[in-house]
A and B are shown apart, each in its own frame.
Chain A
Amino acid sequence: MRNRSPRAYLASTAALLIVLFYALIPVLWLLSLSFKTPATVSDRKFIPQDVTFENYTSLFAGGLDSALLRPLINSISIALIATVIAVTLAAFTAYAIARLDFPGKTVILAGALAIAMFPPISVVGPLFDMWRTLGLYDTYVGLIIPYLTFALPLAIYTLVAFFREIPWELEQAAQVDGATPWQAFRKIILPLAAPGVFTAAILVFIFAWNDFVFAITLTSSDSARTVPAALAFFTGDSQFTAPTGNIAAAAILVTIPIIVFVLIFQRRIVAGLTAGAVKG
């Protein structure tokens, strides 16, 4: 950025604006819809004529029996639990893969990659039958397990890359300093891999948060249904009104946690924490 001519600077700014515009227009449109009254929803105007919060408040009317509150709680709980489990397991796995030589290492990595590539839609049918037999249908566990299946490879891959970046000497220095392998891992490796851990966490969280296929298939009631699935069950005020405003409002609401999550951790993700560890 430093040595750019004003012309190049202008060009890159313009390109950036175009991309932003392209990416954000649908979101802004959704925002606009969420503030419109049912009567003005299809007035084709970007700025709402009479702003209403009705779409938002009605989502939560009725407390726990409301259209969105339970699904929102489900979504947050399931995504968080899946994230914590996936990142914890992945940290151990990735550490072993990055540091140790053991037979079957490449098989594990290749297997993880293959599973991550598997189309969810092809496993969702068998899962439906299995979960009904096992009693996991319409439960948190029933969703967390398939999420882990797909999120773990993602997290392992991300973390292996980060662990490999950490100079091995740091760990050896810790060992010589009297650290047990666990202390070396917890006090040296993990803090240094923090950007990687957070990156993996965000990726897993977003994956679990956004999933629709598993959520719609493996749940049948509010006891485990997540927001994306719940959106599909929204009904209008009457048989003849589409719940456009409500859906728009709910869509905006489910976007907010993701934005918050990324904003909180982006500094840690971007920070090059290993700077100064070794000469160079």
Chain B
Amino acid sequence: MAEIKLQDVTKRYADGTEAVKRMSLEIKDGEFMILVGPSGCGKSTALRMIAGLEDISEGEMTIGDRVVNDLSPRDRDIAMVFQNYALYPHMTVRANMGFALKLAKVPQEEIDRKVEEAARILDLAEHLDRKPANLSGGQRQRVAMGRAIVRDPQAFLMDEPLSNLDAKLRVQTRTEVARLQRRLETTMVYVTHDQTEAMTLGDRVAVMRSGVLQQVDPPRVLYNDPVNIFVAGFIGSPAMNFFSGSIAGGKLKLPFTEIDAPDGVAHSGDIIVGIRPEDFEDARFAPENHAAGKEFEAPIEVVESMGSEIYVYFSFEGGEVSSDELAELARDSGVAETPGAGGGQAVARLSPESDVSEGTSAKLWFDAAKLHLFDPHDGSSLRRSKADQQAAVDATQQAIAAEHHGDGAPPEDDGDAAAPERDGDVKPT
């Protein structure tokens, strides 16, 4: 186990394009770090640089207390799970899992013992003598994980390990990954483009865009306090709604209403306002005695009932937001998931008892205390001061320190509830 440090790490290709730009990131010993971002954001390249499969053009990479810039992958003592698993097709599951140990000249008895133990953990015991071709997708995925864990490496690197599984298996395996990491307590760097995986798995999540690290924070901080419009739009599903508004004379003007400008915002003039779908509610079910809420009339276009909640799409006029960040998100995830970017439509999550219907006008309510305000020029959050950001980082570090040295809960007890619990530990200040 070891910590991984990236200091101004840059990846530049021969033609001058930069896949990763001056990335600095500290991954603590035993931490579960997620690298997330849309395709082409450089997250996989960053992971491959940690693995040693890509050269580092500039900057310094440290694993444990060794600078590894010029070390080949075999000397870095890391294990990697590839997106397509990369199992050796001519070897049995047993040989696949024992390959690294065999290369390291570990005695055969010990190899057998470790492989069998890993197989037991991963429920592969009865498949040990089969070839990868005869395994199902989920089994192959577990063999790939097994190949990594038998080695007891300094760190696990995972490159979208679940993306080849079908939806149901993915959810199940996601839980297993979380459990495994808690049990092994090994530093893990996990790359994904799926923000659900990022939110549920990581101690901390690093959001990347076009090779630049945007924000590194625990999932909850990322969700509640995104540093910019890109992170705000990327994290959360359905995505945050964006409206263009303006602040003048102590009033914040939105396309559908006007409220008192929130405290502590020095900005005046044009502004981008983000409201998460769950911060809307049917006016009839709006929480009582809520200090800062506001009702408004909205024409309802589509109603999607999910049983436990209702998603309502309503239109508004003259407040569409256009920005590079949102355009990129829309390209990557499909316009429907970023309603604000797709034109004058927004999505609200309402209580299942709500009886709003399509084609009518309904009274909605939103929580004015939970507005996200962004600078329309650079997309940065207007509510986050530098001090806030530092506080969030400190909180994170404390939380992680407490988690790994404080509680002595036996690993087996860490079930499905592990991930949410951890989120709770790291509340922002």
- Chain A residues at the B interface, C-beta cutoff of 8 Å: 167, 169-170, 172-180, 183, 187-188, 191-192, 273-280
Contacts and interface: CB of A to CB of B under 8 A. Distances in A.
Contacts of B53: 172, 175-176
Given A167-B84, A173-B82, A279-B140, A274 B74 contact: no
B348 to A, nearest CB: 39
Interface residues of B, number: 31
B100 A172 contact: no
A276 B103 contact: no
Contacts of B84: 167, 169, 278-280
A24 to B, nearest CB: 36
Contacts of A169: 82, 84, 86
A191 B99 CA distance: 14
Nearest to B105: A178
Nearest to A280: B84
A276 B82 contact: no
A277 B151 CA distance: 21
Contacts of B80: 172-173, 176
Nearest to B144: A173
A173 B84 CA distance: 11
Contact of A176 (B78, B88, B135): B78
B68 interface: no
B6 interface: no
A279 B169 CA distance: 15
A277 B88 contact: yes
B293 interface: no
B74 A276 contact: no
B100 A178 contact: yes
Nearest to B53: A172
Contacts of A278: 84-87
Contact of A177 (B89, B103, B137): B103
A179 B103 contact: yes
A220 to B, nearest CB: 47
A177 B100 CA distance: 5
B131 A167 contact: no
Given A172-B80, A179-B99, A276-B89, 16 more contacts: A170-B86, A172-B73, A173-B87, A174-B99, A176-B53, A177-B74, A177-B100, A178-B74, A191-B90, A192-B89, A192-B90, A276-B132, A277-B89, A278-B85, A279-B84, A279-B164
A183 B79 CA distance: 17
A144 to B, nearest CB: 32
